[in-house]
A and B are shown apart, each in its own frame.
Chain A
């Protein structure tokens, strides 16, 4: 064992049975039992398909994880990234000892605490005070530890006034704050965190991220799963990238994230729906097409930082007598919003076909992957229809003047802003 390694996962796999438990599973269980009783290996370990959730299941078994090995050093913050269904949650469950692997093993050194959810075991009838103790103990703290941190927890969550009121009377925000307050004051040697940060308001999220950063700088080990690449980027020193249950890449965070983005996010600059039933939309709005128009001549030409873009889409309006607003949001692939521009409010005619175009000038975007989200809002407040990742495109860098070729920082690269030097 090399020194300083606190988690070592060796060839872990996890198989799940698809479908319902019933007579079919019973016959498999009997066959498995019979094979094991004769000293043979489990016949169902050899089969099972890749965990691609969008495909129709061909067999009865799926591998949520397959032969994953990695190591985590002490004081490291490891991010786990991957799309939905890549096996991130399964891996966290195995690390938290909620379930055990089908094959392989994980060795852990030190006290481990996992936050797959905030407020596990909260009882609605108990008061805030009682729940702090109960939840803290479930997460592995002793009563003494909780008592010594009690004031801090109450302070952090800001519910002092309600501390002796049953939590069923709490607003959902207070509930989450209290729950996260307990979690944030855990002091294990290894902390496993699922996307619990995606709760509460922005200020509270910042507070939580800050707390996690503190924990990491204390020399404790953190394993963190998130879809928010910015959070992973800023919190984690290293990362592993899972795809369909298999480990694709491991190493420094920025390298792994780039690999992830390039493999998982596909350019999609033109979409047209012939059939109204397949087109995205609902009884109010239905999209007909969406595309990014450039003045590039050749097929092989790519969008670069100087290319001017027109984002054009067509839709049919089925609503009547409402003022409709359109919002177009541009995101980086890491999930940060660059801008949100609106059109309207407009009183649209029922059954009419409308075309909307947004121009993005050249020399404005950076060399990044971008996604576009479209929102239709009625009367300024009610969302009629919302589509994320309507279009996805990548902007490439151009040959630069000067002799620096590193990654240009920033979500945009607006050259119209002049920075004088005299």
Chain B
């Protein structure tokens, strides 16, 4: 008879779950997230439907915010400040920017509070914690697409009815999914990073909300980058810049689309996302003790 030796690793693999103080931080258990996909979708559904409970207009309220913001920006920055791109209809210019920016900033704000907002649920039951911020990204996307639908309708109106206006959509529209991926990745990555950093020491949380506001001015949301050629390099260091400019270039034909900067943004996003997940994994297992 041969001696059969089982090393301890084999024994460990017989267990489904091992709860221990340490775990690999760069580990994203996709299988587990998949197992909880129903929960993910229910969180998304909850986010969407609780917004317009007890309202008569319902989901139409999702459109009010971008419409009013656009109108105000058109008035203040377009008419009074003269910052808008004069070569394209200013409603399209501002609405496109505002929709993109709202998606980014809303998602970042809510994911950066993942731990503090959900401490009561996290303290009572286990599910892969990352599900919650992911659900926020998805519900943000749904909201975004509702708002984007309005943008597209106005866009088509200008393309078809007011055909004389100078908007020149081009093949780069195909880059749209990439733009959305970069926005989602950046907001999720930064959000995970911030919520992990501010779990124990909350000092940073005060920086976040006005930091996001300030960041809007460092991003060509309210102005075209062509207006400030001197600062172009500096502005492009902000990974959001190439998304906003590229988006306007693809849909309106006015903007700066530079593939090198787009590549830079993509790599930047990946790094932020990976380090965000790393930090999140590091904190999630014990955050409830220090939140």
Contacts and interface: CB of A to CB of B under 8 A. Distances in A.
Interface string B16-55: 1111110100000000000010110111011001100110
Interface stretch (A80-88, A134-142, A149-157, A362-370): A134-142
A41 B18 CA distance: 22
A202 interface: no
Interface in A93-127: 93-112, 114, 116-117, 120-121, 123, 125-126
Interface residues of B, number: 38
Given A98-B288, A123-B46, A137-B42, A105 B122 contact: no
A37 interface: no
A58 to B, nearest CB: 20
B259 interface: no
Contact of B38 (A93, A102, A105, A142): A142
Interface in A1-24: 1, 8, 16-17, 21
Interface in B43-102: 43, 45-46, 49-50, 53-54
B17 A26 contact: no
B121 interface: yes
A197 to B, nearest CB: 16
Which has the most chain B C-beta neighbours within 10 Å: A8, A96, A98, A109?
Answer: A98
Contact of A105 (B18, B201, B289): B18
Contact of B18 (A107, A120, A125): A107
A112 B21 contact: no
B125 A106 contact: no
A143 interface: yes
B286 A99 contact: yes
B200 A98 contact: no
A353 to B, nearest CB: 49
A213 interface: no
A114 B125 contact: yes
Given A1-B11, A100-B285, A133-B42, A94 B19 contact: yes
B121 A100 contact: no
B19 A21 contact: no
Which has the most chain A C-beta neighbours within 10 Å: B38, B122, B124?
Answer: B124
B121 A120 contact: yes
A166 B45 CA distance: 15
A255 B41 CA distance: 48
A143 to B, nearest CB: 4
Interface string B249-291: 0000000000000000000000000000000000001101110
B206 interface: no
Interface in B141-189: none
Nearest to B6: A1
Contacts of A112: 17
B50 A126 contact: yes
B103 to A, nearest CB: 23
Contacts of A98: 122-126, 288
Contact of A109 (B15, B200, B288): B15
Given A1-B14, A100-B20, A107-B15, A21 B46 contact: no
A109 B18 CA distance: 9
B19 A101 contact: yes
Contact of A100 (B21, B46, B54): B21
Given A21-B290, A98-B125, A139-B125, A109 B16 contact: yes
A126 B42 CA distance: 12
A421 to B, nearest CB: 56
B219 to A, nearest CB: 33
A96 B21 contact: no
Given A1-B11, A21-B290, A134 B46 contact: yes
Contacts of B217: none
A106 B18 contact: yes
Contact of B21 (A97, A103, A116, A138): A103
A16 to B, nearest CB: 7
B110 to A, nearest CB: 15
A209 B20 CA distance: 32
A166 B39 contact: no
Given A100-B286, A107-B15, A138 B38 contact: no
A47 B12 CA distance: 31
Contacts of B41: 143
A123 B54 CA distance: 14
A138 B45 CA distance: 14
B19 A108 contact: yes
A102 B289 CA distance: 11
Contacts of A8: 15
A166 B120 CA distance: 21
A102 B20 CA distance: 8
A101 B20 contact: yes
Nearest to B19: A106
A109 B16 CA distance: 5
A99 B38 contact: no
Given A100-B20, A121-B121, A123-B46, 12 more contacts: A17-B289, A98-B122, A101-B20, A103-B21, A107-B12, A111-B16, A121-B125, A133-B42, A134-B42, A137-B36, A142-B38, A143-B41
28 contacts: A1-B11, A16-B289, A93-B288, A98-B123, A98-B126, A98-B288, A99-B285, A99-B288, A100-B21, A102-B21, A104-B21, A105-B18, A107-B15, A108-B18, A114-B124, A114-B125, A114-B126, A116-B124, A121-B125, A125-B54, A126-B49, A126-B53, A130-B46, A134-B42, A137-B39, A137-B42, A138-B125, A140-B127
**Shortest 5 CB-CB distances between A and B: which pairs?**
A105-B20, A97-B126, A137-B39, A107-B15, A106-B19
Interface of A: 1, 8, 16-17, 21, 25-26, 29, 93-112, 114, 116-117, 120-121, 123, 125-126, 130, 133-134, 137-143, 166
